[in-house]
């Protein structure tokens, strides 16, 4: 694993449920076009308030994935 190059994407996932669910939503969306995701790092946690309640969470994550194939766009 010592000669891999990884790319980090920065996404913001949302969820009415929880911080964990917001991150999972970001990971799920990324999986539609990205292969070989390996790890994530939470960099910001915030959310919207509607009618005096937390309406949804917005969590910024950096997602790291392997650039394995020649054609993978850096």
Interface residue list for a second copy (CB under 8 A): 1-16, 18-20, 23-34, 37-42, 44-49, 52-57, 60, 62-64, 67, 70-74
Residue 28: CB minimum distance to a second copy, A? 7
Q: Which helix (H) or strand (E) holds 24?
A: helix 19-30
| Shortest CB 30 distance to a second copy, Å | 4
Give the rounded distance of the alpha carbon of 63 from its chain centre: 5
What is the closest distance, in whole angstroms, from the C-beta atom of residue 43 to a second copy in the complex? 9
Taking CA atoms, 46 is separated from 24, 25, 40, 65, in Å, by: 16, 15, 17, 25
């Amino acid at each position: 694993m010592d000669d891999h190059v990884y790319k980090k994407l920065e996404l913001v996932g949302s969820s009415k449920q929880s911080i964990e669910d917001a991150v999972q939503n970001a990971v799920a969306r990324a999986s539609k076009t990205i292969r070989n995701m390996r790890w994530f790092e939470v960099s910001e946690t915030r959310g919207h308030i509607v009618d005096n309640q937390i309406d949804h969470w917005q969590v910024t994550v950096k997602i790291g994935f392997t650039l394995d194939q020649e054609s993978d766009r850096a």
